Chain A
Amino acid sequence: EVELLESGGEYVPPGGSLRLSCAASGFTFSDYAMNWVRQAPGKGLEWVSAVSGGGTTYYADSVKGRFTISRDNSKNTLHLQLNSLRSEDTAVYYCAKERAVGGLGSFDHWGQGTLVTVSS
């Protein structure tokens, strides 16, 4: 059974930094692209970033240059480094697994999410 468990969300002031992690199990982690998707309070879903199994990275324009996605295939773990945080980054951040090996853009399993609150 696929399981994704996010951690690292907390309260941080504007301009601050944070590192989110997602521990994966139940599938061959290195075979699948992984994603971060966020949801601001009471709002819709926003794709943030993706990393292919081989390490190619992709970002939404809203976070490019501020966020860095990475993966450790030896530890089945996905990370998102959040720098220069703004109030508009406040959201629940979900880790999401790609549906198909070699695919991009379809999220078939999601974690429970971790809340990042950016406020002074």
Chain B
Amino acid sequence: DIQMTQSPSSLSASVGDRVTITCRASQDINVWLNWYQQKPGRAPNFLIYAASRLQSGVPSRFSASGSGTDFTLTISSLQPEDSATYYCQETYGPPYTFGQGTKVEIK
């Protein structure tokens, strides 16, 4: 099975900061990569599909890029409501594997 590794595991940033999260796949997955946001006690929210395509309704401050094994999610100007855990997920399977998550906190 494909392994997905995110870094960092957590970060703390100020409102307005640019934030970048990295996700690495254990093998080439082309652009078969999604990103999700999850707030405490809530179901995940679908942000990005096919590595860089913004899901309808997701704010434009979210962007993503990458292909092959290395991917990034960027929040261009961090907002208070962006405090959450972010997960990457490969769609090369099934099975489908998620990264371990990156917790983003607001300073």
Q: Which residues in A have some Cβ–Cβ distance to B below 8 Å?
A: 37, 44-47, 50, 58-61, 94, 99, 104-113
Contacts and interface: CB of A to CB of B under 8 A. Distances in A.
Interface of A is mostly: strand
Interface residues of B, number: 25
Contact of A46 (B45, B49, B98): B98
A45 B55 CA distance: 20
Contacts of A61: 1, 95
B66 interface: no
A105 B89 CA distance: 9
B94 A50 contact: yes
B44 A47 contact: no
Given A45-B101, A99-B49, 19 more contacts: A37-B44, A44-B98, A44-B100, A45-B44, A45-B87, A47-B96, A47-B98, A50-B94, A59-B95, A61-B95, A105-B34, A105-B89, A105-B90, A105-B92, A106-B34, A107-B36, A107-B44, A107-B46, A108-B49
